Structure 1
Amino acid sequence: MNSALSRTADVLDRERSFTRFASHELRTPAAVIQAGLERIEAHASADQARPIERAHRGLRDMHALIDTFLQLSSDSAKQAVPSLVVVDSAWVTSLFHHVAGGHADHALTIDQRAPLMLAAPETMVHVLVANLLKNALFHGGPEAIEVVISAEAVAVRNAIPEERPAPGFGLGCQIAHRICERFGWRFSLVMRDGWAVARVTSAAGDQGALIEASSWRI
């Protein structure tokens, strides 16, 4: 038993070390890209403004993801800049348009019963919900993405396409699971009857209440 526990601890330590080292190494190319982008921007024409802004947005997302991975690999992540993030319909709508890119015309419906308050660094909550939306957007079907927000949880529902999911399916959910694990929240992913529901429930939330209140019956 002790040997098995020791091996498990070693695996976790190696995983944390790899994540930490990889994230640190990514900071250098990100900084190089930032500097190059600023030089391009200084001589850009007016019609290049939108592509450059998209590049800046992607770079900000990269920095947020690097910071998230570094925090997840650190034992002190729980103490990192706590704040109260309000997840409501306006916040989710803004985030959806941010991550959608060329899919911004994809239908999105939001049912907000109450705003969700999450005590965590804002970048972590941003990465958490963004990954759920991106997973639904890029790996789901053409049907509308549905989001339900309550005082206890946020859930994202999307159709499952008939064809095999594109490469990368589920990686966003794995990241979401790790973030939830770190902050004592609950993450669940249910696939049934052609639909997938990814749900994040706060530490004080009752997951069953959201399921019963929802017309999804999942």
Structure 2
Amino acid sequence: MKIRLSIRYYFLGAVLLLASCMVIAFSVLTANYFNEGRDSILHRTMVQMAEIEGVTDGHPVNVIDFQIASRWQDLTEDIQLVFEEQGHKAIKLNKIIVSDSIFSRPKAGYFVVDISNSKGEKRYVAKVLEPDNDAPIEKRGMPHFIWIFAFAISGIAIFLLMLLLIMRTVAKPIEALRHWASSLNEKSLQQTPPDFQYKELNSLAEIVHNSLNTVQDSLHREHEFLRFASHELRTPIAVIRTNVELLRKINESEKASIKQNRVVERIERAGFTMSHLTETLLWLSRGDSIPPAIQKIQLNELVLRLIEELSYLLQGKTVDVTVQTSECQIELPETACRIVLTNLIRNAFQHTQNGIVSISQQGQSVIINSKEIDNDDEMKSDSNELGFGLGLKLTEKLVQQFNWQCQCQAQQTGHIVEVNFITENN
């Protein structure tokens, strides 16, 4: 499962990480400056101590705990043990700090400088720092590094609290924007967007509001066009079907040719198809404004009646139709059920030119199996003119709207469609 990032937590983590890195960096820099300042002051003091008079071989001088000697062996043993004569560097301050860890107070510090004074005399200046148990230094509390670490943690904690407060202030209007956008509907779109405190959020709300209004207007125009077009098409379709019947009677009296009769049959099939599609589109254009009427219907009788009404599609074809039904009374929206079955049966009859159409109804389930044995190019072109698959598209919309189950399996020689009219009582 893919983990989706949250902008709030991503921003909080990124800023907190950046702040922590800055606090740690400045803490390390502070500790380094502390050490550098101590060493710099001590080094300058030791350089000045090298100018003291009276230092000779074998007679070192001790001034305020600084050892000044002209020879290395004149220094105290502890200095000589810690620093080897070849281990220290001239002029540079050499130091060794004895400590258990970086966060604990040092146990001892050893410092030595190998330098020549202004008279060119060789001098060794050393300093030993060892905490005295009786000295007041022991009562100072925690070491400086502990204080630096504590201040760093405190700084991060204070920064985190401030960041959470800022995030809460910023996130509250963002959450309000999200809740407002998710609750938008046709009624709320007529109202102006609320104030979200920040100019950027108000601009985003205005963009969302205008975009949804544009989509809503477009859908409304399409809905009106579909409804008006479906109503207006009823009249020309009725005229076409009436004139086709009249033309058929004229052809029967005048003994028209086979080609003329085929043209009339093609027009008649197109008229019936347009009539069914217009009825379907008109019903779909109503949407949820008009709830479907639930009626008790005999599903087996409806299937037989529709097969008889659509049998005109099989005229001039070599199609064997097998029907198997069982008595079933069910409560359904009759118009929707009739449209679905009409589209499925019409597609099976319309797109099978030479083959077998098997229709089976058991309980609330209807299975339509169309199998083509031999395709005729001329009849195939006629079926394509009538719009292959459009009935199935409209059927899918109706099935989804009423939560029915419909499965369509395409085969090399035909289709198998099963629709199950599930009701709340079942």
What interval of TM-score do these two structures reach, taking the shorter chain for normalisation?
A: 0.5 to 0.7
| Match in the other structure for 1:155 | 367
1:74-113 to 2 correspondences below 5 Å: 74-76=286-288, 79-88=291-300, 90-101=301-312, 103-104=314-315, 106-113=319-326
**Which of 334, 338, 346 matches 1:134?**
346
| Match in the other structure for 1:19 | 226
- CA distance in 1 between counterparts of 2:272 and 2:374 reads 34
1:72–1:182: 8 Å Cα contact kept in structure 2? no
1:147–1:155: 8 Å Cα contact kept in structure 2? yes
Q: Please state how far the C-alpha of 1:179 moved relative to its aligned partner.
A: 2.2
Structure 2: gaps (5+ residues): 1-177, 182-207, 254-260
- CA distance in 1 between counterparts of 2:400 and 2:416 reads 18
**Which of 40, 62, 71 matches 2:283?**
71
1:87–1:117: 8 Å Cα contact kept in structure 2? yes
- CA distance in 1 between counterparts of 2:279 and 2:412 reads 37
2:358–2:368: 8 Å Cα contact kept in structure 1? yes
- CA distance in 2 between counterparts of 1:96 and 1:188 reads 20
SS of 2:396 mapped into structure 1? helix
Which is worse superposed, 128-137 or 106-115?
106-115
Q: Please state how far the C-alpha of 1:16 moved relative to its aligned partner.
A: 3.0
Look up the equivalent residue of 2:418 and give its one-letter code: R
CA spacing shift, 1:118–1:169, aligned 2, 3 Å: farther
1:116–1:149: 8 Å Cα contact kept in structure 2? no
TM-score in terms of structure 2 length: 0.37
Q: Please state how far the C-alpha of 1:202 moved relative to its aligned partner.
A: 1.4
SS of 1:203 mapped into structure 2? coil
1:78–1:182: 8 Å Cα contact kept in structure 2? no
Q: Is residue 2:334 matched to residue 1:121? A: yes
SS of 1:83 mapped into structure 2? strand
Q: Is residue 2:218 matched to residue 1:29? A: no
- CA distance in 1 between counterparts of 2:395 and 2:292 reads 18
2:269–2:313: 8 Å Cα contact kept in structure 1? no
CA spacing shift, 1:169–1:65, aligned 2, 3 Å: closer
Look up the equivalent residue of 2:370 and give its one-letter code: N
- CA distance in 2 between counterparts of 1:23 and 1:126 reads 18
- CA distance in 2 between counterparts of 1:118 and 1:59 reads 31
CA spacing shift, 1:83–1:194, aligned 2, 3 Å: same
CA spacing shift, 1:186–1:66, aligned 2, 3 Å: same
Look up the equivalent residue of 1:138 and give its one-letter code: Q
Q: Please state how far the C-alpha of 1:67 moved relative to its aligned partner.
A: 3.7
1:141–1:160: 8 Å Cα contact kept in structure 2? yes
CA spacing shift, 1:60–1:78, aligned 2, 3 Å: farther
Q: How many residues get paired?
A: 194
- CA distance in 2 between counterparts of 1:14 and 1:138 reads 33
State percent identity of aligned pairs. 22
SS of 1:79 mapped into structure 2? coil
SS of 1:169 mapped into structure 2? coil
- CA distance in 1 between counterparts of 2:421 and 2:355 reads 28
- CA distance in 2 between counterparts of 1:184 and 1:93 reads 24
Kindly name which structure, 1 or 2, has the bigger radius of gyration based on alpha carbons: 2
More relative contact order in 1 or in 2 (CA 8 Å, sep 6+)?
A: 1
Measured against aligned partners, the alpha-carbon deviations of 1:55-95 in whole angstroms (never above 9, x if no partner) come to: 9999788656434322211124662443233221x432332
- CA distance in 2 between counterparts of 1:144 and 1:35 reads 31
- CA distance in 2 between counterparts of 1:98 and 1:200 reads 20
